[in-house]
Amino acid sequence: GENVEQHPSTLSVQEGDSAVIKCTYSDSASNYFPWYKQELGKGPQLIIDIRSNVGEKKDQRIAVTLNKTAKHFSLHITETQPEDSAVYFCAALRQGGSEKLVFGKGTKLTVNP
Amino acid sequence: EPEVTQTPSHQVTQMGQEVILRCVPISNHLYFYWYRQILGQKVEFLVSFYNNEISEKSEIFDDQFSVERPDGSNFTLKIRSTKLEDSAMYFCASILTGGPAGSRGYTFGSGTRLTVV
C-alpha cells in the first residue's frame, strides 16, 4: 500500500522567512496530493493541493511542487507569519477507489515573531 | 460554510467498555470516513463508507470496530470493547463524490479525543 514520509518533524523559523516541508510517496498510482493545516483542537483543513498532471501550484504565500518521477512533493510558505504556526500534514490519494487519504507524520511549524 | 460535526469532543471510558463516536457529515455528501490520530503520530485511515456499506477498511479496523449510518444524517463508529491502545483522536470526514472534483471537498470534523483508562 501507499506510504508517505514527511520531513522535518519540527521546523522553527523567524517571521518573514520561508518554510519548506518535504514529502515522498511510494505508490506511483497516487494522483492527488493535498496539504492540510491542523490547529490545536481542530481537524485538518485543506490549504493547497496538487494533481499529478501539474508540476507546481501557487496560492498567494503558499506553493506546492510535485516531482512525479522522484515521487516527492513539497510545501513552500513564504513571508511566514506567527499565525502560520500549526502542524502541517501532507497526504496522497489514488482516485477511483475508496478515495482514502494516506498521511505523512506531520510537521510542527513554529514562526517566531 | 458547511461543517462536519463530531460529538462528544472528549470521551473517557474504562477498558473493556463500548463507546460510540458520533458524526454528522455534510448533508449532501456521499462518502464517509473515519480516521484516527494517536498522540504525536500520523493521521491513519480506518474505514470508508459509501452506498450504505464499507468500501474499504484498514488493518486497524478489526472485529471490535463497526460503523453505521442509522439515518440520513448520522455516521457512527462503535468500538465494542475498548483497549488502552484505542486512546486517540478520532476524525470523521466526508466528501461529495469521488474523483478530482470530490477530493478537494474533503472536510474533517474537529475530532473526538478518546481516552481509555
In order along its 117 residues, chain B shows pLDDT tens digits of 778 999 999 999 999 999 999 999 998 899 999 999 998 888 999 999 998 999 999 999 999 999 999 887 899 999 999 999 999 999 999 998 877 777 778 899 999 999 999
CB contacts of A95 in chain B (<8 Å) are 98-100, 103
Q: What is the pLDDT of residues A9-51, one digit of tens each?
A: 999 999 999 999 999 999 999 999 999 999 988 889 999 999 9
Candidates A20, A104, A99, A94; CA nearest to B31 is A99
Question: Which amino acid is located at A70 in the chain?
Answer: A
Residues ≥6 apart with Cβ < 8 Å to B53: none
Candidates B43, B49, B81, B76; CA nearest to B62 is B81
Q: Do B99 and A101 touch (CB under 8 A)?
A: no
CB contacts of A96 in chain B (<8 Å) are 98-99
Q: Do B44 and A96 touch (CB under 8 A)?
A: no
Three cell numbers at B1? 460554510
Please check whether residue B65 touches A, CB under 8 A.
no
Q: Do A105 and B41 touch (CB under 8 A)?
A: yes
Whether A100 and A92 have beta carbons less than 8 Å apart is answered as no
Structure confidence at residue B46 (pLDDT): 98
Structure confidence at residue A41 (pLDDT): 81
Query: In this complex, which of A96, A101, A104 lies closest to B106 when CB atoms are compared?
Result: A101
Return the SS3 of A35. Answer: strand
Question: Which amino acid is located at B18 in the chain?
Answer: E
Structure confidence at residue B25 (pLDDT): 94
Query: In this complex, which of B31, B91, B109 lies closest to A99 when CB atoms are compared?
Result: B31
Could you tell me which chain B residue has the CA closest to the CA of A10? B40
